[in-house]
Each structure stands twice: as structure tokens, then as C-alpha cells.
Structure 1
Amino acid sequence: MPDYKRHGARYRARRRAVDILFEAETRDVDPVAIVEDRAALAGDPTNAVAPVADYTREIIAGAAAALDEIDNAIERFLSDNWELNRIPAVDRAILRVATWEILYNDEVEPPISIANAMEMSTEYAGDNASPYIHAVLDDIIQAHASNAPEIAQATDEFGQFTDTAEAAAVTENTDLAGTSLIDANAVEPAVPSEVEEPSTPAETSKEQQPTDGQSND
């Protein structure tokens, strides 16, 4: 069983946002409605449903409002013979959360968004999904940076920003199990049929919630 206590509050909030987006797509319902439903259930302690973190709410509301723009950004950097609806649903959810952060949340450094997305992809789908998720997100970062000079920085050969403070933040706040050293420009995305799609992501109602004193990323 994964040890969520070692992760910061924002990682857990991102992870729950992935769960909710996955569930919303599977059930064909509004993810914002799921958040409100979870919040209502959490108000009754007999339901054993974890409260929804503020950052999870922010991600879901933002991703739902900008879903077309987010999906267009993802599809732009998928392989030419791919479509977004061909990749596993859990991968779509991970990409949507990370892309929302990259495009719409200036408080989170892009390398942290990539690092968290890669760790979640390894947890949910195994090692096959990480390379193409990294490649797509790296391309989105580069395209976004070209339109926002204030965040444009030199990148190393692995597609990670070379700023010392950002590199330290990624190292401190994530455990990539070596996957951060993937060359985003060299890998080919895994064939969707070879990526095992879980029947469901993690059980959100039992997810460990943020506690005081833990890292936010």
C-alpha cells in the first residue's frame, strides 16, 4: 500500500483531483458536482469520506472551466497518429491536472507539476505511461514558456529546468524513482493498448489528508 504520509499536501490534493476527474469521465458527470457531493458526505463523520482539500477544489474547478483549452494543448503534442480519447482515462486525468497547473497556476513551478504527474502515472499505470506523459508535458512547458518570457529558462538534456531552487524543490518534494531522468525528446509514447488501464484509480474516500507542518508541494 502506498505511503501517502511522505507526500506533501499539494501532491495529495493533485492525486485526489486525478481520482475525481477519472470518476467524472467514467460516470459521465460533472467533476465539480462530484466535489460538492464528496464535501457533503464528508460533513457526516459516519460516512468515512475524507474532506476535499481546497487545492483539489481549485484544480477541479479550473480544469472543468478550461477543459477544451487543456485538451487542445495535450493533443497538440501527442504523436501524429494519436488522439486524446485513445489513451487510458487515468492518463488523461493525470495530464489534465498537470496541464492545468502549467497553464493556469503560476504559483507552481512547471518541474514540480511534471514530477508529480510522473509519480502518479507510475503508481496508476506502471512504467509504460511515464515517458510519454513526461514528453507531452515537457513540450507544453516549452510552448507556454515561449509565450511567457518571465518563466522561460534554460533546460537541461532531460527537459528539467536548471534553476537551482526549482531543482531543489523537485528533489525535496517528490520521489521519482529515477523517472525524472527521462529524455523527453528521445522517447516514443507507449502504444495505448500496451498501457494497462486500472479499473479505478485510488480509493479517494480513504485517502490521507493534509496535516499541519507538511510540505505543500
Structure 2
Amino acid sequence: MGKRTKARECALQMLYQWDITREPMDRVAGLFWQVRTSTDETRAAAERLARGAQGQMARLDEEITRASHNWRFDRIAAIDKNILRLAVYELMHEPGTPSSVVIDEAVELAKRFSEADAPPFVNGVLDAIKARVRGEPAGQPPPGSGRRASKKERDSTND
């Protein structure tokens, strides 16, 4: 498991614990690191993500609510909310990380920690949010993501 992947997983676990207990994040993080070992780099990245998402909770929840059509926010499972919060935070505040990576990692977290129907839900919500916060078209990978343009797409750029 890569350092960023591990950091996202640790951040999710801390954010989820905070969301359920509402203990101060300093206490949550302190207890978490007592039972979990990690490199200083991974630990710093995990705490930056968890604390960042916690601090932006209202804005993140607004974005999730806007993008989760036909789902009331209070009906979304707590683990899924926190996966989405972390990913939306990263989309908004970590522009150096490609959207496709953020979304793929969130989908993988949903596969690992949530129910079978969560990954497509997480993917759809984040795709819609990506379009708003990064200005990238929904349903398409970002420019330079390695996807080859179709003949129709190539032809339309030569007009």
C-alpha cells in the first residue's frame, strides 16, 4: 500500500471516529496513533486530511448534498459521508493530486470499508463535485490522464 493510500485510510478512520464520538480531534488522533504505526510522512498527511476535512465539514457537506441526487444527506451511511468528505476536501484543497486519483482512492475506500452499493454511489457523487470544484467535465477523465482521445474527438479538434 502506498504512502498516500495509507494516509487516506488513516485519515478516514480518524475522521469517522471523530464523527461518531465528537471527541476533540487531538484526542482522536492521539488514541489512533497509540494503536497504529506509520511513518512520520504518512502520519502528517493523514492528520492534514482528517483535520482539514473536519474544519471544512459544513462546506463539504453542502457539496455532497448538492451532488447526491435522490439521497437525503441524513440517509447516507456515516462511513460513506466520511469517505466523501475526505475526497471532496482533497479535490478542493489538494490541486496537485489528479481528480482521477482522488476518486479512485475514495472508491477503493468504499470497497474496503462500506457496503457493496457504496462504490458506484461514491464515484457518481465525486464525479459531479469534480465538475463543480475543479471545472473538469463530469463523466470524463481530466486532460492528461492517459486516456486516448477517440477518432471523433481528435477530428473535432482539427476543425
TM-score bin, normalised by smaller chain? 0.7 to 0.9
**Fraction of identical pairs, as percent:** 21
**Structure 1 partner of 2:104:** 115
RMSD of aligned C-alpha atoms?
2.0
One-letter code aligned to 1:124: F
CA gap 1:124/1:70 in 2 versus in 1, 3 angstroms: same
Are 1:133 and 2:133 an aligned pair?
no
How many Å apart are 1:61 and its aligned residue? 1.6
Q: Quick check: 2:92–2:134 contact (8 Å CA) kept in 1? A: no
Q: Deviations over 1:49-71 (max 9, x none)?
A: 42471100110121111111111
Cα distance in structure 1, aligned partners of 2:36 and 2:121: 33
Are 1:100 and 2:89 an aligned pair?
yes
Cα distance in structure 2, aligned partners of 1:159 and 1:23: 33
**Structure 2 partner of 1:87:** 76
User: As a proportion of its length, which structure holds more helix?
Assistant: 2
Q: How does 1:157-172 map to 2 (within 5 A)?
A: 158-164=139-145
Give the TM-score normalised by structure 1: 0.60
One-letter code aligned to 2:88: T
Are 1:78 and 2:72 an aligned pair?
no
Q: In structure 2, the residue corresponding to 1:138 is in which secondary structure? A: helix
**Structure 1 partner of 2:24:** 30
How many Å apart are 1:15 and its aligned residue? 0.6
**Structure 2 partner of 1:142:** 131
**Structure 2 partner of 1:61:** 51
Cα distance in structure 2, aligned partners of 1:95 and 1:31: 19
Question: What are structure 2's unaligned runs of at least 5 residues?
Answer: 148-159
Considering Cα pairs closer than 8 Å and 6+ residues apart, tell me whether 1 or 2 has the greater RCO. Answer: 1
CA gap 1:49/1:133 in 2 versus in 1, 3 angstroms: closer
How many Å apart are 1:132 and its aligned residue? 1.2
